[in-house]
């Protein structure tokens, strides 16, 4: 190779090297200038929130090189979960003369079906009688009360016995539709009850566990089970308080073989805190009962069961009372109107029910009955040793007290 060519080649190599160095320098600085400051949204860029519910931020993250700058992100924008619409949140960050931003869309929508509430449960009518609608209510999370929009349809033929139904359908302004059904049974008049035995228990104990109970109103677990065995084996319907109330008010009939089981006070063996005999037995047999609870004495949460209705036995007036030195049988009779009103209100607030009330010690007078009515109770129970029927006063409903010496045959006689 000539000297001239060698010199040219060397010069070319040097130039190539310089170009490479310059390129590396340029690229390096370009990368430095354009090194990305990123915001990454966690979750979806579009978040749908149901009307009235809470928007929970899915989160976000900002990084620069190996640095986590998430705490420097500013989130701006407004939204209202109680108002339908589309909203936008903007996420911004600034760091070392660099900035970045992104957005997330929030859509507040209404996909919630209206709530349809039947005033009463399933209904029984007799052949030839007319079905009377017990009532219903429809509430929507957006539209409010839409009861007037409810449409009903039934297949009832009251000219013959059979099982029928009433369908209730309602649709809100956002096309959310809800349908529920009520069962209607048509029975021959000979198959429905004209009167009902209401049984009244108090305490439950098990001698096989060395438990003792010396009061006359104590009931052995084995004896109580023998009563329930009879009801099961003979196809008795054990009523809820709502069913009994609807029967008393003529809304529905009930089968000929029906009984209402009531328990007073909430003491020994009735709750999870004091022996827990009643609830496991009811759940084992799948039989309904009503507990008239002294709400100020024991926590209502000790008595939770789908087979046990909780009703009022006053809040704190289950005490023997003396008025002017004369025994009146119960504190309720000795207390002022205002004291009784306040006590009943406390009890209602705890039970969340005004279906029924039970007078302590079966003691009542004209004044206390008036106060119970004023408080809004539909029914009131006493003693009486006779059956309940719709011709009797709804605030003097009699019951059969079940005592430790009450035999199975006597119970059978009560309910038949």
Mean pLDDT of all residues in 204-227: 96
| pLDDT score recorded for residue 325 | 78
17 band by pLDDT with thresholds 50, 70 and 90 = low
Residue 144 scores a pLDDT above 50: yes
Distance CA 118, CA 181 (A): 9
The answer to whether 312 and 359 have CB atoms below 8 angstroms apart is: no
Q: What is the pLDDT of residues 166-184, one digit of tens each?
A: 999 999 999 999 999 999 9
Residue 349 scores a pLDDT above 60: yes
Dihedral over Cα of 337, 342, 347, 352: its sign:
positive
List alpha helices for 125-240, DSSP H. 221-233
Distance CA 196, CA 390 (A): 9
Kindly report the backbone phi and psi dihedral angles of residue 187, in degrees, each rounded to the nearest multiple of 5, phi listed first. Answer: -125, 155
Higher pLDDT: 285 or 31? It is 285
Kindly report the backbone phi and psi dihedral angles of residue 394, in degrees, each rounded to the nearest multiple of 5, phi listed first. Answer: -70, -10
Distance CA 387, CA 414 (A): 8
CA-only gyration radius of the chain, Å: 37
Mean pLDDT of all residues in 328-353: 95
> What is the total residue count of the chain?
416
pLDDT > 90 in the chain, percent: 86
Distance CA 93, CA 100 (A): 5
The answer to whether 365 and 396 have CB atoms below 8 angstroms apart is: no
Distance CA 368, CA 117 (A): 32
| pLDDT score recorded for residue 65 | 87
The answer to whether 269 and 203 have CB atoms below 8 angstroms apart is: yes
Residue 397 scores a pLDDT above 90: yes
Residue 235 scores a pLDDT above 90: yes
| pLDDT score recorded for residue 31 | 47
| pLDDT score recorded for residue 388 | 97
CB atoms within 10 A of CB 320: 13
Residue 41 scores a pLDDT above 90: yes
Distance CA 331, CA 335 (A): 6
Q: Supply 216's token pair.
A: 């006359």
Enter the DSSP assignment of 25. H
User: Strand ranges (DSSP E) for 241-391?
Assistant: 258-265, 289-293, 308-312, 322-323, 326-327, 356-358, 379-381, 388-389
Match 């011709």 to its residue by tokens.
391
Residue 204 scores a pLDDT above 90: yes
Match 């089981």 to its residue by tokens.
261
Match 């039947």 to its residue by tokens.
118
Going along the chain from its start, the domains and CATH numbers come out as: 37-109 (2.60.40.10), 115-187 (2.60.40.10), 193-415 (3.20.20.370)
392 band by pLDDT with thresholds 50, 70 and 90 = confident
| pLDDT score recorded for residue 200 | 98
The answer to whether 381 and 357 have CB atoms below 8 angstroms apart is: yes
Residue 374 scores a pLDDT above 70: yes
| pLDDT score recorded for residue 165 | 97
Residue 303 scores a pLDDT above 60: yes
| pLDDT score recorded for residue 323 | 82
Name beta bridge partners: 201: 263
326 band by pLDDT with thresholds 50, 70 and 90 = confident
Angle of helix 221-233 relative to helix 408-415, nearest 10 degrees, comes to 40
Q: What is the pLDDT of residues 73-127, one digit of tens each?
A: 999 999 999 999 999 999 999 998 899 999 999 999 999 999 999 999 999 999 9
Question: Which stretch of DSSP H or E encloses residue 393?
Answer: none
For the chain, report the end-to-end CA distance as a whole number of angstroms.
131
User: Strand ranges (DSSP E) for 85-176?
Assistant: 85-95, 98-109, 115-118, 123-126, 136-140, 144-145, 151-154, 162-171
Mean pLDDT of all residues in 402-406: 96
Distance CA 276, CA 298 (A): 14
């Amino acid at each position: 190779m000539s000297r001239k060519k060698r010199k040219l080649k060397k010069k070319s190599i040097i130039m190539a090297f310089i170009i490479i160095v310059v390129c590396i320098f340029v690229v390096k600085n370009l990368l430095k200038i354009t090194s990305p400051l990123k915001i990454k949204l966690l979750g979806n860029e579009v978040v749908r929130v149901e009307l009235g519910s809470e928007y929970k931020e899915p989160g976000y993250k900002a990084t620069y090189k190996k640095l986590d700058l998430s705490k420097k992100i500013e989130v701006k924008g407004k939204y209202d979960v109680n108002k339908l619409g589309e909203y936008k949140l903007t996420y911004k960050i600034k760091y070392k003369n660099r900035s970045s931003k992104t957005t997330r869309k929030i859509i507040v929508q209404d996909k919630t079906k209206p709530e349809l509430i039947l005033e009463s449960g399933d209904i029984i009518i007799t052949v030839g009688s007319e079905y009377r609608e017990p009532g219903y209510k429809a509430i929507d999370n957006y539209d409010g009360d839409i009861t007037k929009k409810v449409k009903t349809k039934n297949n009832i033929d009251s000219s013959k016995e059979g099982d029928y139904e009433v369908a209730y359908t309602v649709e809100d302004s956002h096309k959310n539709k809800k349908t529920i059904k009520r069962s209607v049974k048509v029975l021959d008049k000979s198959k429905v009850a004209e009167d009902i035995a209401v049984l009244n228990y108090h305490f439950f104990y098990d001698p096989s566990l060395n438990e003792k109970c010396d009061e006359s109103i104590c009931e052995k677990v084995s004896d109580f089970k023998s009563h329930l065995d009879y009801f099961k084996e003979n196809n008795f319907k054990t009523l809820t308080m709502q069913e009994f109330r609807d029967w008393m008010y003529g809304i529905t009939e009930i089968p000929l073989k029906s009984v209402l089981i009531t328990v007073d006070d909430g003491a020994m063996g009735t709750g999870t805190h004091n022996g827990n005999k009643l609830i496991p037995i009811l759940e084992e047999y799948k039989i309904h009962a009503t507990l008239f609870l002294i709400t100020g004495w024991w926590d209502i949460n000790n008595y939770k069961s789908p087979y046990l209705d909780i009703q009022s036995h006053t809040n704190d007036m289950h005490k023997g009372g003396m008025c002017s030195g004369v025994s009146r049988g119960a504190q309720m009779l000795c207390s002022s109107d205002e004291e009784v009103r306040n006590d009943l209100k406390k009890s209602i607030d705890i039970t969340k029910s005004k279906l029924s009330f039970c007078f302590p010690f079966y003691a009542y007078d004209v004044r206390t009955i008036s106060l119970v009515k004023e408080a809004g109770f539909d029914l009131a129970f006493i003693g009486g040793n006779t059956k309940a029927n719709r011709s009797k006063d709804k605030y003097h409903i009699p019951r059969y007290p079940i005592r430790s010496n009450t035999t199975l045959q006597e119970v059978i006689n009560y309910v038949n």
